[in-house]
Amino acid sequence: MIGAVLPTMANDLTTMGALPSALAAKAALNNTNIAAAAEDFEAMFATQLLKPMFDTVPVNGIFGGGNGEEVMRTFLLQEYGKMIAKTGCLGIASQVKAEMLRAQENAKGRGTSPSAAKNQSSPSSPETKMKGTPYASSR
């Protein structure tokens, strides 16, 4: 009977030793997901910045024109936005990532998920929303 218990205990101890590495892998995956979401946000933002500029450029009838070019222009702008985000030249993704990580850490400290922490926030007066933001001093 003791011979059957010892291998089981050894397996449990081995599994317990793997927990820190599994948690570290989950945290690394979470950071990767946050970084990807932040970069996607920057790409979308860059696309929205470029759109008004390209709206003023007329469609050239010699090289195609028509509805097809107008539709493909949106795809072109999305790709431009992705390339701008990959270079990081706007610097939005790094700030969004840092803010998302900070919100996640604050939620962990309270023992709630970030979405639940958002729902439990204080009153939504403009002064409360502005408090602690870079724009708070501009009022």
Closest to 30 measured CA to CA, from 106, 102, 85, 101 = 101
3-class secondary-structure state, position 47: helix
pLDDT by 10s per residue, the chain, length 139: 555 554 554 555 455 555 566 656 776 778 888 999 999 999 999 999 999 998 888 777 777 677 778 788 889 999 999 999 999 889 999 999 999 999 988 888 887 665 555 555 544 544 444 455 454 444 3
> pTM surpassing 0.75?
no
pLDDT of residue 67: 76
d(CA 94, CA 100): 10
d(CA 30, CA 97): 11
pLDDT of residue 132: 52
Is the separation of the CB atoms in 100 and 38 below 8 Å? Answer: yes
Closest to 105 measured CA to CA, from 94, 114, 116, 96 = 114
43 vs 25, 34, 49, 92, CA distance in Å?
A: 27, 14, 10, 9
C-alpha dihedral sign at 99, 100, 105, 111:
positive
